[in-house]
Amino acid sequence: MTADNTEARLRRLEDLEAIRQLFIDYGYYLDHGLFADYAGLFAEDGEVLLGPMGRAKGPAAIKDLMQRTLGSRVGTSYHVIANPIIKLDGDRAKTNVSWIVVVMGKDGQPAIPMFGHHADEVVRTAQGWKFQRRKGFVDLPGKFVTPEEQGR
């Protein structure tokens, strides 16, 4: 095995891990209302397309969208991120990841009002891997469960 081959393999593994961390940070920042950090996961011209929740381009607009649509729900739902598929192509990658939203129901039991997936384009930037385009899909239709519906 040559040093070049080892370096290429190491870089590939580091890239895959950095992209996986994007997915984890995405859910964590949403769940904790860290919308500025959330928006920082996107490239300067990155965009998010979340169906009926809305769409936004650029970190400032993405932060505003999340604050407006989820600000009152912080601490009422938790994202579980799973099954990442990452297809690296140099400084870009196409990815797909599953998500589940878990909420506490009125009866005090956890409920899963919806789950789906994200189809993404990610790009290597000077600050590391970022979302260039993140498109969300709801695979099991559900509805947003309001705090009132949760008994809060």
Q: What is the pLDDT of residue 147?
A: 45
Is residue 67 situated within a structural domain?
yes
Residue 118 near residue 83 (C-beta atoms within 8 A): no
pLDDT at 144 over 70: no
Is residue 148 situated within a structural domain?
no
Q: What is the pLDDT of residue 151?
A: 45
- In the three-class reduction of DSSP (H, G, I as helix; E, B as strand; rest coil), residue 150 is classed as coil
Is residue 152 situated within a structural domain?
no
pLDDT band at 143 (very low <50, low <70, confident <90, very high): low
CA distance 80 to 65: 21
Q: What is the mean pLDDT of residues 33-47?
A: 97
Q: Could you tell me which residues come within 8 angstroms of residue 44 by beta carbon, excluding any fewer than 6 positions away?
A: 58, 59, 125
State how many domains the chain has.
1
Which residue bears the tokens 């580091």?
14
Q: What mean pLDDT value characterizes the chain? A: 89
CA distance 27 to 123: 19
Is residue 146 situated within a structural domain?
no
Is residue 149 situated within a structural domain?
no
pLDDT band at 23 (very low <50, low <70, confident <90, very high): very high
Q: The CATH number of the domain where 89 resides is what?
A: 3.10.450.50
Q: Could you tell me which residues come within 8 angstroms of residue 64 by beta carbon, excluding any fewer than 6 positions away?
A: 56
pLDDT band at 152 (very low <50, low <70, confident <90, very high): very low
Torsion of CA 21, 19, 31, 65, to 10 degrees: 150
Q: Residue 13: give the domain boundaries.
A: 3-140
Residue 129 near residue 15 (C-beta atoms within 8 A): yes
Q: Could you tell me which residues come within 8 angstroms of residue 110 by beta carbon, excluding any fewer than 6 positions away?
A: 102, 103, 104
Is residue 147 situated within a structural domain?
no
